[in-house]
Amino acid sequence: MEPKTPKDSSTIVTDLVLPSETNPIGNMFGGELLARMDRAASIAARRHSRRIVVTVSVNHVAFNKMIPLGSVVTVEAKISRAFKSSMEIYMDVWIEDRESGLRSKANEAIYTFVAVDEMGSPVVVPQLIPETKQEKKRFEAALRRKQLSLVLAGKMEAKHATELKALFE
């Protein structure tokens, strides 16, 4: 299987915030953004693996900035690392100033997807070769995040999380 780069599957989804997608103080409802990010991540994971993909974990979400009604919101999803059947997808969320058109970073998130066959069993995905400085940094830290996610999900014993242990040595 040929390795791929993050740009091979990079996915950009831009959409408005409508009234039905806001909370009582007129800002975007968190669950709406989570759903948009899940869709963008799923497209990126599908482009990378060319398989059926399912969300296995939402590893990290930071809601740093409120997103007002009417905002133009862009979710950029990129594979940050591919393991055997799982892929970590890193998302940056931008909002666009109405007058200047300048983009500012609103949020970011990290999801993990697994490629599966028609029976729902995990299948092997192509490896990822990071290219830019940021892609290399995210790639390097992804194994640590995977181990943390597995420990928190009760799927790995903390004593086997070598990357996490290394942080405290």
Ligand X SMILES: CC(C)(COP(=O)(O)OP(=O)(O)OC[C@H]1O[C@@H](n2cnc3c(N)ncnc32)[C@H](O)[C@@H]1OP(=O)(O)O)[C@@H](O)C(=O)NCCC(=O)NCCS
Question: Which residues are at the interface with ligand X (CB under 6 A)?
Answer: 54-57, 83-86, 112, 114, 116, 120, 122, 146, 149-150, 153, 155
SS3 per residue for 109-133: EEEEEEEECCCCCECCCCCECCCCH
Which residue in 155, 23, 12, 39 sits closest to 93, CA to CA?
12
Q: Is 97 helix (H, G, I), strand (E, B) or coil?
A: coil
Taking residue 169's Cβ as centre, other Cβ atoms within 10 Å add up to 4
- Minimal CB distance residue for ligand X: 83
Smaller CB distance to ligand X: residue 69 or 156?
A: 156
Q: What is the rounded CA–CA span in Å between residue 69 and residue 23?
A: 9
Smaller CB distance to ligand X: residue 22 or 59?
A: 59
Q: Residues for the chain: how many in total? A: 169
Closest distance to ligand X from the beta carbon of 78 (Å) = 17
Closest distance to ligand X from the beta carbon of 160 (Å) = 12
Smaller CB distance to ligand X: residue 97 or 117?
A: 117
Closest distance to ligand X from the beta carbon of 149 (Å) = 3
Smaller CB distance to ligand X: residue 119 or 166?
A: 119
Closest distance to ligand X from the beta carbon of 164 (Å) = 13
| Residue 114, beta-bridge partner list | 54, 86
